[in-house]
Amino acid sequence: MKNVVLIGFMGTGKTSTGRALAQRLGRAFVDLDRMIEEEAGRSIPEIFASEGEAAFRALEREAVRRTAKRRALVISTGGGTVKDAANVALLKENGAIICLTASVDVVLARTAHVGDRPVLDAKDAGDRRQAVADLMAERRELYDVADYSVDTSDLSPLQVVDDIAGYLKREGVFRA
Ligand SMILES: Nc1ncnc2c1ncn2[C@@H]1O[C@H](COP(=O)(O)OP(=O)(O)O)[C@@H](O)[C@H]1O
Ligand SMILES: O=C(O)C1=C[C@@H](OP(=O)(O)O)[C@@H](O)[C@H](O)C1
Ligand SMILES: [Mg+2]
């Protein structure tokens, strides 16, 4: 049984949609960020502040290594997980890769709370919209590894789940 792996930029809905999709499919759900937080006993912003991004990325690689070899999961990645080619290869080995996208303004609205997403906060030099636009442009090609993509800008989480479940059914990944 293949995993279903959600990738995409911050605020596209990977965590919330992944949880709902897992419920819909009757599959176990793993959010890599939550897994890292639970194991470290600290939040993602705390890990970034105390140990830096490189240390976070090492924890993320380890979380991917252990999770990707499991079966029949819905896995939500973090927005930067696919920066590492080895992470992508591991996740693809046994996973259907679904990319969630959203417009700059929708991402801006969904990530407006400063303090939750240290990568975006670090890039925000007073113009948060510009920070989102720049980082999104910088990372756009990384998300091309997906087998299927959904623009979530004008969809409710439920509609996103329906869309992905329809794709999986058509592809025969799950009897969704
Ligand atoms: N399709 C959607 N429509 C409206 N709000 C959404 C949608 N998907 C996610 N959200 C909201 O956007 C915020 C970020 O979602 P989240 O699942 O954490 O995204 P990600 O994990 O991709 O960063 C949350 O407040 C969530 O409730
Ligand atoms: O894009 C990134 O580099 C990051 C995205 C975050 O996950 P979400 O995309 O779920 O917010 C989290 O992994 C960390 O803050 C770094
Ligand atoms: Mg998330």
- Spell out the domains of the chain, with CATH numbers in brackets: 3-171 (3.40.50.300)
pLDDT in tens, 32-57: 999 999 999 999 999 999 999 999 99
Cα dihedral angle (91, 93, 98, 102), rounded to 10 degrees? 40
Centroid of ligand 1 to alpha carbon of 159 (angstroms): 13
Cα angle: 13, vertex 19, 20; to 5 degrees: 90
Centroid of ligand 1 to alpha carbon of 75 (angstroms): 15
Q: Name the closest ligand to CA 118.
A: 2
Burial of residue 85, with CB atoms counted within 10 A of its CB: 0-12 exposed, 13-18 middle, 19 or more buried: exposed
Q: What is the ipTM of this complex?
A: 0.99
Quick one: pLDDT band at residue 174, thresholds 50, 70, 90? low
